[in-house]
């Protein structure tokens, strides 16, 4: 196994531990529960102090960078602005981009666990400096990571924050074959994969579920709209640095990022979260599963992979999921027109709020 000290995109006062299997895949929920059981029951395996084994320092950074470069083909000459948020990729991403021939401008690329430059979550609000620098410097694109660099987000050459779903679709269309994604991914992915005879397979939200499906289905690529992408030819763990190189590879071969993203169908999205006591979540979701689909006409598919996803004939859809970490019911709506999305949102939110009050 491998162990990583990380709080991902959370503020500096947070910390955590992530455990990895020998094949590079994160521990599954069942494995994590077993660790919790061992800790709670103090069911440890103990050894004497003089039988603890030994440690060895490996230059894994050099090994990693060499391995990444072997898997990408970037045409030299692109100008890239990189914002690592003072996180784990601060040295590696700028260096590896220079190694493949990019001209690099760096922001917040000095490691500092207090994240003085910006919050580690790579949102549009936190990346205004990156967007401005890309535009005024005439760069071809910008790249940003979260704290531990398992995610990658991008800014096009016009200084626009790249839509998460469109980035996922862009990479998936290039890969083709079986694409593994989560229930909250856009229908634009399905539309574009049809053009290359690809197939979309959806899983529960979470990179470990994507990794498991990649193995099970023999997928060519997997990812979540959050910017967490998995490339099975390289690793079964999400890797923001490798993902950045693959995106730059596409831009170096096929032209401006703005043009590539604008070619992908656009949908109107609404994301909402409704306060709900944890004790009521199961009952609320049971009512959603049984009764909410009846509120919609022309429904064509209902999936219960992770929460309840209701797909409609016009390609719009509704996803209702309980938050696993907060006292909320999460709602995501996608539709071609804003009017349709707002109508679906009003129906869904009203139903959920009424259900919560009635329990």
Contact predicate 226/251, CB 8 Å: no
Distance between CA 69 and CA 237 in Å, rounded? 17
What phi and psi, each to the nearest 5 degrees, are found at residue 54? Answer: -135, 165
Query: Please, what is the angle between helix 338-358 and helix 281-291, to 10°?
Result: 130
Strand 79-83 and strand 141-145: pairing? Answer: parallel
| Catalytic-residue membership of 8 | yes
Residue tagged active-site, from 8, 90, 188, 243: 8
Cα torsion 94, 96, 101, 107 to 10°: value is -10
């994969």: which residue's tokens?
193
| Distance between CA atoms of residues 200 and 356, nearest Å | 34
Pairing of strands 103-107, 17-20: unpaired
DSSP string, 67-88: HHHHT--PPTT-EEEEE-TTST
Q: Which residues pair with 142 in a beta bridge?
A: 81, 155
Query: Are 101 and 73 within 8 A, CB to CB?
Result: no
Give the whole-angstrom CA distance, residue 193 versus residue 172.
Answer: 8
Angle between helices 188-195 and 164-175 (to 10 degrees): 20
- The residues that are catalytic are 8
């Amino acid at each position: 196994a491998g162990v990583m000290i990380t709080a991902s995109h959370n503020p500096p006062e947070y910390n955590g531990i992530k455990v990895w299997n020998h094949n590079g895949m994160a521990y599954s929920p069942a494995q994590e529960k077993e660790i919790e059981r061992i800790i709670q029951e103090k069911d440890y395996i103990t050894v004497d102090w003089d039988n603890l084994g030994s440690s060895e320092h490996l230059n894994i950074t050099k090994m990693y960078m060499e391995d990444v470069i072997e898997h990408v083909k970037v045409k030299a000459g692109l100008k890239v602005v990189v914002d690592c948020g003072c996180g784990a990729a601060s040295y590696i991403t700028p260096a590896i981009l220079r190694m493949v021939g990019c001209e690099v401008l760096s922001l917040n690329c000095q490691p500092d666990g207090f994240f003085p430059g910006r919050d580690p979550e790579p949102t549009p609000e936190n990346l205004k400096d990156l967007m401005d620098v890309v535009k005024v410097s005439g760069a071809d694109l910008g790249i940003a990571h979260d704290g531990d660099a398992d995610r990658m987000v991008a800014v096009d050459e016009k200084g626009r924050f790249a839509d998460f779903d469109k980035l996922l679709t862009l990479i998936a269309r290039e890969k083709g074959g079986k694409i593994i994604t989560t229930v909250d991914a856009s229908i634009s992915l399905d539309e574009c994969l049809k053009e290359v005879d690809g197939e979309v397979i959806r899983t529960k939200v979470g990179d470990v579920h994507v990794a498991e499906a990649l193995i099970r289905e023999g997928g060519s690529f997997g990812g979540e709209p959050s910017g967490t992408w998995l490339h099975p030819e390289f690793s079964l763990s999400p890797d923001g640095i490798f993902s950045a190189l693959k995106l730059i590879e596409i831009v170096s071969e096929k032209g401006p990022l703005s043009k590539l993203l604008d070619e992908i169908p656009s949908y109107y999205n609404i994301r909402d979260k409704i306060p709900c006591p944890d004790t009521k979540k199961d009952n609320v979701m049971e009512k959603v599963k049984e009764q909410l689909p009846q509120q919609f006409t022309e429904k064509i598919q209902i999936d219960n992979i992770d929460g309840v996803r209701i797909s409609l004939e016009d390609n719009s859809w509704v996803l209702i999921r309980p938050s696993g970490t907060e006292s909320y019911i999460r709602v995501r709506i996608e539709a071609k027109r804003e009017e349709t999305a707002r109508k679906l949102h009003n129906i869904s939110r009203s139903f959920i709020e009424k259900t919560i009050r009635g329990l």
